[in-house]
Chain A
Amino acid sequence: MSTFPSLIPNSINFDFGTPQISEYSAFGIGPIRFRHTDFINGQTFSLKYQGLDQASIELLRTHYSSNSGTAGEFTVPAAVVGSVNSVDSASIYRYTTTPTEEHIGFKRYNVTISIRAIEGVLVKFILVGESAQLGSLAAFDSYVFSGAAPFILDADDADPAVATSLILDSGGA
């Protein structure tokens, strides 16, 4: 799979795509909706380039050609689509239409590229425990217990500094 050239467009416009939901309704029951995947696909982008030089237009021509035109799939660097969060860098695209170049001067070109995400973005929740943190650790020594139970482990120096003790009573041993 190829990657779209890293050319930042002069302007972009796009939509948010559609979730994969179908709706079933029958007489006597309300519409029932099925969500088939958690992906939102079909985001369309229109990338407008103005005043491209020869090297840049060659990048676009070569990519379109080597991508089999509108048939092949490719990824797009996040910066090209404005780093919007309706897609991500793993999204997969196709050309919606064949781009048309406008030759505006000697080796200067305007072109608008229309692409569509065929695999857009996976909607998922990420739980982030932002404020949680591990307390500091207290040094301790190890001892061999000998004598009569109960043995009392006194954790006074631990953080949080709340007096805590652990009683080991091995009476039944």
Chain B
Amino acid sequence: MADFPLLSPQSRSYTPGSFAVRRSKTLSGKEVTVRRTNAAVDYRLRFTFTSGSIVQQSQIFSHYAVHNRFQPFDLPSSVLQGSDLTFPAGYQWIYAKTPTVVHDPGVVRVSVELLLVAPYDI
């Protein structure tokens, strides 16, 4: 397992985890909600890495090729810099989907979406 490449994103968005709930609606319009777990799931981070060369693209591809949605990994502080985000202890990240790359003249943009998962052994 290797950490995500030591890169600084040009843009970032974050969706915190959510709890599994069951909702039932009654005739009176009241809505009953039952929370079914104490653990929030589905934390997501999206990054866009922009550069003038394919070096970052290659680093991300190399990392993705090894880890993808199977092998969890940690994030370096550089990709979360300034956000003060915290996550449940022991949880790690996997790729939510395959990264996408846009090549414009002289500009390479790589978009990455990561999903936080509970610890598991492989």
Q: Which residues of A contact B (CB under 8 A)?
A: 20, 22, 36-37, 39, 41-42, 54, 58, 61, 64-65, 68-73, 94, 98-104, 106-107, 118-119
State how many angstroms separate the Cβ of A128 from the closest Cβ of chain B: 28
Range of interface residues on B (Cβ < 8 Å): 20 to 34
Q: Does the CB pair A98–B42 fall under 8 Å?
A: yes
Additional 11 contacts, C-beta under 8 A, given A71-B19, A73-B33: A22-B27, A37-B29, A39-B28, A42-B29, A61-B16, A68-B19, A69-B21, A98-B42, A100-B13, A103-B83, A107-B83
Q: Does the CB pair B35–A71 fall under 8 Å?
A: yes
Q: Does the CB pair A118–B18 fall under 8 Å?
A: no
Q: Which residues of B contact A (CB under 8 A)?
A: 11-19, 21, 27-31, 33, 35, 40, 42, 44, 82-84
CA distance A53 to B33 in the complex (A): 32
Please list 11 pairs of residues, one from A and one from B, whose beta carbons are closer than 8 Å in the complex, sorted by A's number: A20-B29, A22-B27, A36-B28, A36-B29, A69-B18, A70-B18, A94-B31, A100-B15, A100-B44, A103-B13, A103-B14
Contact of B27 among A20, A102, A106, A119 (CB under 8 A): A20
CA distance A100 to B31 in the complex (A): 24
